[in-house]
Structure 1
């Protein structure tokens, strides 16, 4: 008889080796990077919008696992649903039956998407995008997808083909035959459509990299152009969907926009079980699954598993029962307004933008000579270092976890759990104000760290 596996004992005995284990067996650059910027913390537990370290110090999470933890960590409703589904001992993933949970979750998702008809469940956001790309190409009979510069849609080969950041694409060519345009450039979209080979246009209703919205009216005009040329509008709501921007979907802020395909993931997981979903119009699905011979033409071995479906159903119940989306809208407006009020106070602070609890804080070239010379030093080494200089003291001194919004961007992105309230807004604004005071005042601590980052950036060239 095998020795009983004891996870608690394993973590107690070996948990302290976490950084060494990563360095030895996983991505060796991750622990190196974390140690360089002082992010090599040891978090012991988490709940809601907070982590705690071994000394009992709390840390405010304004990152939400890159948006996965939309309801915060270990929401009791989601947790109970997962215990219940495991205890039910369901006949899951037999593959030759129709289990109830996928149908129930699809029904609930489609209730929030009345112009869409069917759902495909995969395991991640990138799979949701891959599904949309395949379905668009097959349904239209055309090969090419148009996307936006600076877009992020995933890192597998198909989704990478519509990734607008060259740093992710470099060295992985050849990719699919796709074409980038600037977000908001209708003329460029029309030029590509006139070539007659475009299957669809994939777009984030609010771009994650830099937190940029399209100009008013762009999505509706793009939809009309696409349909005129028999191409599809694909909304990537992996990060923006399920309440992040103060509406169930971010595209719903633009009146009349009804995408042909919508991709969701992240928050739908409840933070526990990876899940992705591609929602689409009936005719698209019926083209792809056109006969019984094609019933498995697009599938996922672990897709629609009972744990993921239970988590998704619990998440949607919480969104409805606890007014989470209304909270995201109100709390996001409070946070954005209070941060925007600081723009005139700090010359390094250029703009605060966003919707709901998806907020971008952009820094820019200061006007005073002293600060300008320091700013120029950072920019000469690598754009984005000042934003990193803000992120680090937010964690080190104020115990708040944030992120730089993209490579070479002087933007911090805030995507906290949608459950935060005024207390968390107060804590963040007070901490951010203190960091800005340090950057603009006589303290050399931040700029000393900036020189460390410059050396690191130059050394990596």
Structure 2
């Protein structure tokens, strides 16, 4: 009889020639456990997903309660379903008052796709602008506005009339004109290796979009739901976008995403054509129940107030001659090394010692750290000790 590992390689589509091949049997809190019982500290949260840890008891309880009521009923937006309605109401309470309409989807890429359509439909324009080295997803529209040519060259032709500007570069804002339907930008550039914008840049971007009538679309797929130490990353810049995107940390481990705007802007999907955006499984009631529980845990457990102290502890402990720099916004962190060739053996060695890290798509010389927000100081100390030991052994 074939093992699960063999079946994985034979029948499950692969995305690289070197998958990690960890066979995980269970997960709890900040730990994953393989079939041999080895524990791994998960310092990447499933790539920014498990912000409140794996299988948080309040999320499990919410899922179980919804399972006893109903699963999928109807395509999104036709029936009044309590999990969807309560989640949308709770999201609005975290946002400026005019961002009061939530469209629920299944993933971050779907949120991007919906927002791009929304910008074009609302403005009647065609041009979309994003930043070089941005990452917005792998579906065709999302890939079109992703800012790495190496990542998308093999899939062209993509959407026409897409332009790119430099992140944090004020002169490039002149490229936003009255032809521009929307500017999509990350609150922090994630896959570029945690690149933070200047407040002046973000405020100038907001003003330029207002002047030209372009919609400012804030991609909070990695940064939302507390990752940066504020519930939304854009709160740090004193601006308000026209559209907010979220997913990843939103669902507590369940698949869900959303794009959020005003009732005026979102209203264009109701006619010309009717049903201007449709999703069958978007806003799945079980995922919505999990997302509402996640939001409540973040707000009720004082997690946001702890983020900066935990990030600072990582920075204090991760000191080594091989580490060239550490960049972070809250608990979204990049630990920079000289090269991928230096970093990759360290990541591999740390995994054998029980700590899971990663690198970034467009910054492969930096180690990704994005642990669950519930990680404790003792667990941070344990993780950093292992990472430093891995560096020493590989060196």
SS of alignment partner, residue 404 of structure 1: strand
TM-score (norm 2): 0.94
Q: Which residue of 2 aligns with 1:402?
A: 357
Distance 1:236 1:133 in 2: 11
Q: Which residue of 2 aligns with 1:375?
A: none
Considering Cα pairs closer than 8 Å and 6+ residues apart, tell me whether 1 or 2 has the greater RCO.
Answer: 2
List runs of 5+ in structure 2 lacking aligned partners.
Answer: none
Which stretch has the larger CA shift, 87-96 or 176-185?
A: 87-96
Q: How much does 1:105 deviate?
A: 0.7
Determine whether 1:351 maps to 2:325.
Answer: yes
Distance 1:63 1:298 in 2: 33
Q: Which residue of 1 aligns with 2:368?
A: 413
SS of alignment partner, residue 161 of structure 1: helix
Q: How much does 1:235 deviate?
A: 0.6
Distance 2:267 2:96 in 1: 18
Q: Which residue of 2 aligns with 1:168?
A: 151
List runs of 5+ in structure 1 lacking aligned partners.
Answer: 1-13, 365-382, 441-461
Q: How much does 1:137 deviate?
A: 1.0
Contact 1:336–1:353 (Cα < 8 Å) also in 2: no
- The structure number with the bigger radius of gyration is 1
Task: Pick one of 9, 12, 18 that aligns with 1:33.
Answer: 18
Q: Which residue of 2 aligns with 1:260?
A: 242
Contact 2:72–2:285 (Cα < 8 Å) also in 1: no
Q: Which residue of 2 aligns with 1:374?
A: none
Q: How much does 1:49 deviate?
A: 0.6
Total equivalences in the alignment: 391
Contact 1:336–1:359 (Cα < 8 Å) also in 2: no
Q: Which residue of 2 aligns with 1:178?
A: 162
Closer/same/farther in 2, CA of residues 251 and 419 from structure 1, 3 Å limit: same
Within 5 Å, which residues of 2 pair with 1:326-341?
Answer: 326-339=305-318
Q: How much does 1:130 deviate?
A: 0.7
Distance 2:274 2:90 in 1: 23
Distance 1:282 1:173 in 2: 35
Determine whether 1:199 maps to 2:199.
Answer: no
Determine whether 1:57 maps to 2:42.
Answer: no
Closer/same/farther in 2, CA of residues 94 and 33 from structure 1, 3 Å limit: closer
Closer/same/farther in 2, CA of residues 276 and 408 from structure 1, 3 Å limit: closer
Q: How much does 1:199 deviate?
A: 1.0
Q: Which residue of 2 aligns with 1:360?
A: 334
Contact 2:133–2:362 (Cα < 8 Å) also in 1: no
Q: How much does 1:28 deviate?
A: 4.2
Q: Which residue of 2 aligns with 1:312?
A: 291
Contact 1:405–1:413 (Cα < 8 Å) also in 2: yes
Deviations 1:250-285 (A, max 9, x none): 111112x100000001111110x3111101122211
Distance 2:182 2:75 in 1: 34
Q: Which residue of 1 aligns with 2:93?
A: 111
Distance 2:363 2:79 in 1: 49
TM-score (norm 1): 0.81
Q: Which residue of 2 aligns with 1:303?
A: 282
Contact 2:136–2:145 (Cα < 8 Å) also in 1: yes
Distance 1:269 1:423 in 2: 26
Q: How much does 1:336 deviate?
A: 2.6
Q: How much does 1:29 deviate?
A: 5.6
